[in-house]
């Protein structure tokens, strides 16, 4: 009898546990255990805390205000109640920095931390469980125990407000989103070519002139012309110093540090528009309007001492506004052409014993760092500040892949990892069919979630220099608040789990389940978001003379169906279970199907053109760029032709010839050889000077069988062209194709600089 009773009790407990609402906290806590029962917040609930602790009082005030906004309840302080929420701030608790301990019982919640940050994060975990808006539903919190603390110190989000200005209320919304996911650094990109966004009282023209540009918003960013004299600059805006102080205080209450970015020595056309004497040519100009730099000065003159006086005065006002330890100075993408032609810059190089313009940039950065250190601040900049020698105590933000961060960490410098893939949230996250226009690239929710901020190439003794990671939001193609929300949600949540939760606790399937509850929160708050990438990923695998296609989907419960004849796939088509062999030219289409329903806007599709080189291995004399490798070394033999999207299908190389050799595996009859290339003027991508074709039977002795000069005009904006030679009665096993490097043409903003060569396929027929 007793055994039956025990079994029944166990069953009842099990049913109760099963019936409880799952806890969907993001980022996933280090330890969490759910118990039976709930704690309900109502009008009789009281908050208990030591009123003598100011930081504790601020945290409790924040919590009370949040509860009032979703319920109308004014929680009593230290009152006599049977329903108590207890806050304890104990610096001797032994809890990790920014960590917290949370215990929820039927009539008592105890939140304990060793610092204010931990209290704020514990509160955020509680708020994620409660209704996001006032619905008059009961405020129930499951009984549970949580022990939690962050993995990394730097958990950041960036926002560019230069390309498009977002008002103070939008910045606060952005900060609220960050705070809800326990992110703690807001990198505020306040200055760039297209707009100066911070009031500097000593230099009023920075905002009266530099904050406004001619409105060309009806034209895609990369196609916008430069404004002409006489046109009225009326698009833009800026933040007053009072607004900035208010936002800094607002962020601090949520344990978010704002790191301001004041660009230098490049990306400052807006400042030059206000004060032309700061540039090398000292000519009047308007702020940049888009992607066309023709006739625009975007660098400070590094040989002019008044530039440094100007910047020190600006930074003094910036430091007074922002208590952050770090001041970001940019330092990226400096076109040094103006310095090469400037007598003052060349004199500076000579007088300081510098080798070249790279060392001139290093001189510039080191001089600014010395000033910041005198103000007890630290300099942080993009990884280009490594060029010419890194400033002694600088911190590097690695965006051009991870190599800059690895190099800096090995030198003993702190780094923040923010590589374009997957940390650029201005890239597409789904589709891109049906998606709002983006700058390019493809960083899906899963790509972000799978990121590991500590590079495998980093030695063990350098790993402590990785402070954390951040995502960047550049706004060339993000003009509205709704669009901004869409680009960061839900990828912000994925990044938060990357930088907070232990790596061994990450679980994509579990995260995907929890994010569904957050989608409901976004909907209730009226936030625009991406529901996920339903598009099937099509990955060609070219090796050993064969071509296969791997298909995958990010939807955990989805099945994949496909066709190879170009017809529209559905749940009656071929079901994917293993890589698809491609033996002849095909048009593959694929869809994700969940519970019999086709997901996404349209089928993923890819043409495959089969020729004699398809599937065979490719060797390179010079390595291609790590940023543009398409699907790997054999992308030139995967049967996939490129499009105008530079982020896919193309192999890119700059400053060197593209020399690729293919082994066909055996001697074959060859009738023609071609190399497909791309020209995209705005992206510094130009046709090679010429393409040379060689063949060999044994791989040792090669014979030139043709040479094709570039027939495409250098000023043509965009063009895909096949350099092709036809041959007769040729037998070959090895094919070598050499695309000769060139430079950007006269009239281009990079005139005389190395141009990119982009190639998509070597076609052998």
Q: Is 653 helix (H, G, I), strand (E, B) or coil?
A: strand
Residues with Cβ < 8 Å from 97, sequence gap 6 or more? 114, 115, 117, 118, 149
Residues with Cβ < 8 Å from 31, sequence gap 6 or more? 145, 146, 147, 148
Residue in 192, 199, 387, 414 annotated catalytic: 192
Reading the block at residue 658, the tokens are 């593209």
CA distances from 429 to 333, 423, 480, 511, 628 (A): 25, 11, 18, 17, 18
Residues with Cβ < 8 Å from 147, sequence gap 6 or more? 29, 30, 31, 99, 101
Separation CA 172–CA 186 (nearest Å): 11
**Secondary structure (H, E, C), 555-575:** CCCCEEEEECECCCCCCCCEE
Sign of CA dihedral 733, 625, 585, 740: negative
Give catalytic status of residue 192 as yes or no.
yes
**Which burial class, exposed, middle or buried, applies to 461 when counting CB atoms under 10 A from its CB (0-12, 13-18, 19+)?**
exposed
Question: From the CB of residue 258, how many other CB atoms can be counted at a distance below 10 Å?
Answer: 21
Residue in 309, 320, 333, 356 annotated catalytic: 333
Residue in 158, 164, 187, 267 annotated catalytic: 267
Cis peptide before 422 (omega within 30 of 0): yes
Q: E-strand spans in 67-138?
A: 76-77, 84-89, 100-104, 108-113
Instruction: Name beta bridge partners: 707.
Output: 692
Give catalytic status of residue 267 as yes or no.
yes
Separation CA 671–CA 650 (nearest Å): 25
Q: Could you give the angle at which helices 241-253 and 168-180 cross, rounded to 10 degrees?
A: 20
Reading the block at residue 67, the tokens are 């509860």
H runs (alpha helix) in 417-555? 420-423, 445-449, 481-488, 491-500, 508-525
Separation CA 134–CA 2 (nearest Å): 47
Q: Could you give the angle at which helices 305-321 and 241-253 cross, rounded to 10 degrees?
A: 50
Sign of CA dihedral 345, 348, 350, 353: negative
Give catalytic status of residue 140 as yes or no.
no
Backbone angles phi, psi at 286, to 5 degrees: -100, 160
Closest alpha carbon to 383 in 314, 345, 334, 447: 334
Backbone angles phi, psi at 293, to 5 degrees: -95, 10
Closest alpha carbon to 592 in 539, 556, 640: 556
Q: Active-site residues: which are they?
A: 192, 267, 333
């Amino acid at each position: 009898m007793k055994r039956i009773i025990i079994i029944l009790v166990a069953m009842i407990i099990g049913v109760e546990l099963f019936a409880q609402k799952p806890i969907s906290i993001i980022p996933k806590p280090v330890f969490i255990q759910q118990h039976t029962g709930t704690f309900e917040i109502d009008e009789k609930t009281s908050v208990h805390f030591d009123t003598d602790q100011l930081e504790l009082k601020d945290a409790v005030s924040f919590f009370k205000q949040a509860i009032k906004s979703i319920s109308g309840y004014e929680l009593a302080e230290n009152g006599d109640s049977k329903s108590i929420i207890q806050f304890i701030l104990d610096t001797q608790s032994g809890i990790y920095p920014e960590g917290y301990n949370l215990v929820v019982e039927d009539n008592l919640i105890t939140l304990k931390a060793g610092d204010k940050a931990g209290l704020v994060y514990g509160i955020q975990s509680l708020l994620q469980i409660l209704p996001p808006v006032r619905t008059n539903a009961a405020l129930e919190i499951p009984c549970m125990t949580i022990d939690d603390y962050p993995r990394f110190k730097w958990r950041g989000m960036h926002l560019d407000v230069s390309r498009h200005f977002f008002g103070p209320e939008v910045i606060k919304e952005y900060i609220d989103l960050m705070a809800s996911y326990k992110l703690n650094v807001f990198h505020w990109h306040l200055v760039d070519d297209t707009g100066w966004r911070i009031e500097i009282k000593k230099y009023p023209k920075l905002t009266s002139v530099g904050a406004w540009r001619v409105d060309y918003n009806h034209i895609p960013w990369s196609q916008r012309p430069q404004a002409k004299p006489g046109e009225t600059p009326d698009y833009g805006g800026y933040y007053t110093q009072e607004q900035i102080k208010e936002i800094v205080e607002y962020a601090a209450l949520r344990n978010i540090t704002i790191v301001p970015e004041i660009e230098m020595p490049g990306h400052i056309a807006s400042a030059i528009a206000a004060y032309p004497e700061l540039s090398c040519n000292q000519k009047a100009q308007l702020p940049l309007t888009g992607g066309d730099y023709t006739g625009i000065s975007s660098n400070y003159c590094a040989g002019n001492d008044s530039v440094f006086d100007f910047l020190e005065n600006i930074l003094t006002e910036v430091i007074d506004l922002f208590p952050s330890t770090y001041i970001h100075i940019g330092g990226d993408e400096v076109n040094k052409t103006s310095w090469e032609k400037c007598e003052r810059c060349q004199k500076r190089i000579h007088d300081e014993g510098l080798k070249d313009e790279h060392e001139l940039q290093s001189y510039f950065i080191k001089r600014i760092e010395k000033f910041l250190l005198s103000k007890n601040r630290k300099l942080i900049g993009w990884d280009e500040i490594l060029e010419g020698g890194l400033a002694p105590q600088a911190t590097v933000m690695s965006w051009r892949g991870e190599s800059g961060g690895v190099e800096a960490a090995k030198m003993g410098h702190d780094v923040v990892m923010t590589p374009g893939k997957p940390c650029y949230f201005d890239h597409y996250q789904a589709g891109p069919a049906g998606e709002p226009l983006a700058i390019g690239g493809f960083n899906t929710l899963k790509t972000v979630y799978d990121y590991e901020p500590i590079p495998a190439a980093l030695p063990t003794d350098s790993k402590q220099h990785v402070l954390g990671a951040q995502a960047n939001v550049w706004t060339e193609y993000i003009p509205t608040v709704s669009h901004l929300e869409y680009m960061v949600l839900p990828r912000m949540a994925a990044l938060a789990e990357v930088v907070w939760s232990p790596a061994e606790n990450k679980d994509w399937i579990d995260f995907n389940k929890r994010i569904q509850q957050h989608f409901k929160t976004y909907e209730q708050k009226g936030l625009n978001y991406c529901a996920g990438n339903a598009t099937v990923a099509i990955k060609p695998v070219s090796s050993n003379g064969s071509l296969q296609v791997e298909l995958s989907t990010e939807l955990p419960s989805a099945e994949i169906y496909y066709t190879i004849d170009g017809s529209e796939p559905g749940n009656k088509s071929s079901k994917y279970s293993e890589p698809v062999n491609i033996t002849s030219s095909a048009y593959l289409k694929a869809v994700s199907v969940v519970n019999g329903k086709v997901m996404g806007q349209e089928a993923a599709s890819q043409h495959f053109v089969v020729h004699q080189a398809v599937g065979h291995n490719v060797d390179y004399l010079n390595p291609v760029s790590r940023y543009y490798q398409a699907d790997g070394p054999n992308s030139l033999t995967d049967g996939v032709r490129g499009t105008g999207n530079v982020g896919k299908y193309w192999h890119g190389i700059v400053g060197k010839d593209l020399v690729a050799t293919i082994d066909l595996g055996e001697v074959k009859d060859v009738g023609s050889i071609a190399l497909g290339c791309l020209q995209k003027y705005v992206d510094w991508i130009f046709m090679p000077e010429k393409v040379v074709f060689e063949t060999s039977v044994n791989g040792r002795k090669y014979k030139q069988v043709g040479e094709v000069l570039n027939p495409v005009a250098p000023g043509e904006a965009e063009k895909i062209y096949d350099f092709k030679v036809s041959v007769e009665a040729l037998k070959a096993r090895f094919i070598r194709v050499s695309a000769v490097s060139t430079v950007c043409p006269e009239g281009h903003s990079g005139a005389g600089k190395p141009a990119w060569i982009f190639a998509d396929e070597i076609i052998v027929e």
